[in-house]
């Protein structure tokens, strides 16, 4: 991976930062956030502005360019990748390390007095705008909205915004009709005494209308906004997508519906003016509900007095708690996904010793096996197929320049998943196709202990996920080890593989309490720069737990793994496991054997079935 040469681009950007054509007054700094106008994590090619200007294309990062400097903030997952992809014009700001300045502090330290800092108001979330604006103001600088995106002005071959056909999902997948979702949303609005709700996140629009798209790779979403009133539904969406009779029927666009369920379809680009019109017509006490992560542009379209901002929207929270149809769909998707991985690992075991399998070939083979499964749509994120030192690059994606050949001498880490029409998967397994060293086994076993500690944890109703994060690290901490990423994220149901409002992280973001029906990942790891990476990830469902006592009648919760793929026992140092941990592994493998074994049998995949049986042999602890 050679870095992108950005000298010329930065020169151009610095020119437009001073050009009266684009800015009222010159800006001394320009911020290029990661997201799009919907604050999406995964974005369409036309929105990859930060990657365009810097070369760094990880999923999280913020670039700031001043007249003298260019700096990139990203987190521990991407330190190595960003360092590889960026040239010497860029300074890497490692978030989470003690000495790394915040963006605000850094700006204050480098800017001349009374500077203007520009940003596209559609790309920056309102809460970030607020924080940054305040910090800059208190140091005598100004954060200013720059209407035209300055990157777009220098990006001559910027791709077009995608506008792909939609998929409709019927009740057997969603469990609840879009009408009933609107009814539930309006009742939440009534509870909070708000009259309007603005849906800005793409996965929230998709979930609300039981529609899916493919405008963004890996995320089955489409570019749209919605504004829900107590008696109106406005959907802002472009293209011929509303001409499709299946979509028209699904949304009942041509039926004689009660007026409050009649969907008004409007152009995508008209959201700002429509929202301004809504804002103008308000009387006191008539509030408009927005996520505090909605763009500054849309938030400011509503007069401050009428804004009702919350960190998580009622749609985000409702979407996180999967209903019975969704849970069953997720189970089915994970069974199919496990079948594909059993095929893959069986194939790898035979092929790797021949020295012909590269990271890319392995990733492609994983996709091939997945695509053979029913209702397969696409991958749910770029497959992380990494061997040896590449495994230490936490969100590595193999490209020809880095593509390494799998061997019997190195650890192989595969973090992959797919979108099926009935659910989204995300699973990581770490394998050795030869003989792992004692040290590799030791590290793997600490990671496994952490994985089990979370998966088997019992905790009271109302517990927030971040309170479970240390369970995943305790065994590593005991030996002075750790990993620089969170332990888990919410997973969508045939939606984004990362979703809020729950998660398991040492970062105390305002996560919502875990509830039965929520689905999160459990993925501790350990990484040695230049040597190897280990991660063990299951997607797990929050379920009620039976306990001996029941303090204050609160009830307890625990997790049930949805992912049912063997954990390589060859990598386990059994003597480091407690009896309980050993039992956990054996019970888990027993379940893999039963459930996935039956499906492999049904699909006539006998060789993979034999592999599964062998890989799920019980562990025996030496006393």
446 vs 611, beta carbon nearer a second copy = 446
Residue 568 CB, shortest distance to a second copy, in Å, is 22
Give the span between the Cα atoms of 379 and 396, in whole angstroms: 16
Residue 506 CB, shortest distance to a second copy, in Å, is 6
CA dihedral 429, 433, 435, 438 (to 10 degrees): -20
258 vs 549, beta carbon nearer a second copy = 549
32 vs 545, beta carbon nearer a second copy = 545
Quick one: CA dihedral 175, 177, 182, 187, positive or negative?
negative
580 vs 602, beta carbon nearer a second copy = 580
Spatial contact of 383 and 414, defined as CB atoms under 8 Å apart = yes
Residue 482 CB, shortest distance to a second copy, in Å, is 5
Give the span between the Cα atoms of 132 and 141, in whole angstroms: 10
Residue 478 CB, shortest distance to a second copy, in Å, is 5
Spatial contact of 38 and 237, defined as CB atoms under 8 Å apart = no
305 vs 598, beta carbon nearer a second copy = 305
Q: Tokens representing 300?
A: 């400011």
- DSSP secondary structure string, 130-182? HHHHHHHHHTT-EEEE-SS-HHHHH-TTPPPPP-PPPEE--HHHHSS-HHHHH
Starting at the earlier edge strand, list the strands of the sheet with 459-460.
459-460, 556-561, 538-545, 519-522, 488-490, 499-504
User: Is 354 exposed, middle or buried, given 0-12, 13-18 or 19+ CB atoms closer than 10 A?
Assistant: exposed
Residue 525 CB, shortest distance to a second copy, in Å, is 12
Residue 481 CB, shortest distance to a second copy, in Å, is 5
Residue 302 in 3-state DSSP? coil
| Residue ranges in contact with a second copy by CB under 8 A | 98, 138, 140, 284-285, 305, 457-460, 462, 466-471, 473-474, 476-482, 506, 508, 547-552, 554, 556, 578
Residue 554 CB, shortest distance to a second copy, in Å, is 7
288 vs 382, beta carbon nearer a second copy = 288
108 vs 257, beta carbon nearer a second copy = 108
Residue 384 CB, shortest distance to a second copy, in Å, is 21
Give 269-274's long-range contacts (Cβ < 8 A, gap of 24+).
269/236, 269/238, 270/236, 271/225, 271/227, 271/236, 271/298, 272/297, 272/298, 272/301, 274/227, 274/234, 274/236
Backbone angles phi, psi at 331, to 5 degrees: -60, -50
Residue 74 in 3-state DSSP? strand
Quick one: CA dihedral 77, 75, 124, 18, positive or negative?
negative
Q: How long is the chain?
A: 623
96 vs 269, beta carbon nearer a second copy = 96
Give the span between the Cα atoms of 581 and 574, in whole angstroms: 9
With CA atoms as reference, report the closest residue to 449 among 615, 579, 623.
Answer: 579
15 vs 550, beta carbon nearer a second copy = 550
Quick one: CA dihedral 508, 511, 513, 514, positive or negative?
negative
Structure letter (DSSP) for residue 5? P
Residue 139 CB, shortest distance to a second copy, in Å, is 9
284 vs 400, beta carbon nearer a second copy = 284
338 vs 453, beta carbon nearer a second copy = 453
CA dihedral 534, 505, 198, 152 (to 10 degrees): -50
Backbone angles phi, psi at 175, to 5 degrees: 80, -30
Residue 299 CB, shortest distance to a second copy, in Å, is 15
Residue 446 CB, shortest distance to a second copy, in Å, is 10
Residue 548 CB, shortest distance to a second copy, in Å, is 5
Q: Residues near 5 by Cβ (< 8 Å), separated by ≥ 6?
A: 87
Hey, which residues does 543 pair with through a beta bridge?
A: 558
Residue 458 CB, shortest distance to a second copy, in Å, is 5
548 vs 602, beta carbon nearer a second copy = 548
CA dihedral 536, 450, 393, 539 (to 10 degrees): 40
474 vs 587, beta carbon nearer a second copy = 474
Residue 460 CB, shortest distance to a second copy, in Å, is 5
Residue 467 CB, shortest distance to a second copy, in Å, is 5
Give the span between the Cα atoms of 532 and 120, in whole angstroms: 39
113 vs 240, beta carbon nearer a second copy = 113
21 vs 98, beta carbon nearer a second copy = 98
Interhelix angle for 359-371 vs 324-351, to 10°?
A: 140
Spatial contact of 436 and 564, defined as CB atoms under 8 Å apart = no
């Amino acid at each position: 991976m050679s870095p992108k040469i950005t000298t010329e681009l930065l020169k151009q950007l610095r020119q437009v930062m001073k050009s009266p054509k684009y800015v009222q007054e010159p800006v001394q700094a320009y911020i290029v956030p990661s997201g799009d106008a919907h604050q999406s994590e995964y974005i369409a090619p036309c929105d990859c502005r930060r990657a365009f200007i810097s070369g760094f294309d990880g999923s999280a990062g913020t670039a700031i360019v001043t007249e003298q400097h260019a700096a990139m903030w990203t987190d521990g997952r991407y330190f190595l990748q960003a360092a590889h992809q960026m040239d010497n014009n860029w300074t890497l700001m490692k978030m989470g390390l003690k000495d790394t300045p915040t963006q605000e502090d850094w700006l204050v330290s480098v800017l001349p007095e009374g500077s203007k800092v520009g940003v596209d108001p559609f790309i920056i979330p309102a809460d970030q705008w607020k924080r940054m604006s305040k910090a800059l103001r208190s140091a005598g600088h100004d954060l200013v909205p720059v209407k035209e995106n300055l990157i777009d002005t220098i990006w001559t071959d910027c791709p077009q915004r995608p506008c792909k056909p939609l998929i409709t999902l019927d009740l057997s997948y969603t469990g609840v009709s879009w009408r009933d979702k609107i009814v539930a949303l309006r009742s939440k609005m009534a509870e909070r005494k708000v009259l309007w709700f603005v849906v800005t996140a793409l996965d929230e629009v998709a979930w609300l209308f039981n529609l899916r798209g493919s405008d963004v790779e890996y995320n089955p979403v489409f570019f749209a906004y919605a504004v829900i009133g107590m008696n109106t539904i406005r959907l802002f969406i472009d293209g011929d997508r509303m001409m499709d009779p299946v979509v028209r029927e699904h949304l009942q666009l041509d039926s004689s519906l009660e007026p409050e369920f009649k969907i008004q379809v409007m152009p995508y680009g008209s959201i700002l003016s429509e929202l301004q019109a809504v804002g103008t017509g308000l009387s006191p006490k008539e509030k408009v509900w927005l996520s505090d992560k909605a763009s500054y542009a849309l938030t400011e379209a509503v007069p401050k007095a009428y804004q009702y901002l919350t960190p998580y929207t009622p749609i985000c929270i409702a979407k996180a708690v999967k209903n019975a149809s969704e849970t069953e769909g997720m189970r089915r998707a994970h069974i199919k996904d496990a079948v594909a991985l059993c095929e893959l690992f069986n194939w790898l075991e035979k092929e790797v010793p021949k020295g012909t399998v590269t990271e890319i070939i392995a990733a492609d083979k994983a996709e091939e096996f997945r695509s053979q499964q029913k209702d397969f749509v696409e991958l749910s994120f770029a497959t992380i197929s990494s061997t040896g030192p590449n495994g230490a690059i936490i969100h590595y994606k193999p490209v020809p320049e880095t593509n390494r050949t799998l061997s019997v001498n190195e650890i192989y880490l595969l973090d992959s998943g797919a979108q099926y029409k009935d659910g989204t998967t995300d699973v990581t397994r770490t394998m050795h196709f030869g003989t792992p060293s004692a040290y590799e086994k030791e590290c793997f076993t600490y990671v496994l202990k952490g994985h089990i500690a979370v998966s088997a944890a019992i905790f009271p109703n109302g517990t927030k996920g971040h309170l479970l994060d240390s369970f995943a690290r305790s065994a590593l901490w005991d030996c002075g080890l750790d990993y620089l990423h969170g332990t888990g994220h919410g997973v969508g149901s045939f939606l984004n593989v990362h979703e809020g409002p729950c998660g398991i992280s040492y970062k105390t973001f305002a996560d919502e309490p875990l509830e039965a029906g929520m689905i999160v990942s459990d993925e501790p790891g350990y990484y040695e720069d230049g040597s190897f990476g280990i991660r063990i990830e299951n997607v797990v469902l929050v379920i009620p737990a039976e306990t001996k006592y029941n303090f204050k009648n609160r009830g307890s919760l625990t997790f049930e793994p949805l992912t049912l793929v063997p954990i390589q026992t060859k990598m386990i140092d059994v003597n480091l496991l407690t009896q309980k941990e050993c039992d956990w592994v054996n019970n888990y493998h027993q379940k893999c054997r039963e459930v996935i074994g039956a499906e492999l049998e049904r699909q006539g995949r006998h060789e993979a079935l034999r592999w599964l049986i062998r890989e799920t042999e019980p562990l025996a602890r030496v006393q």
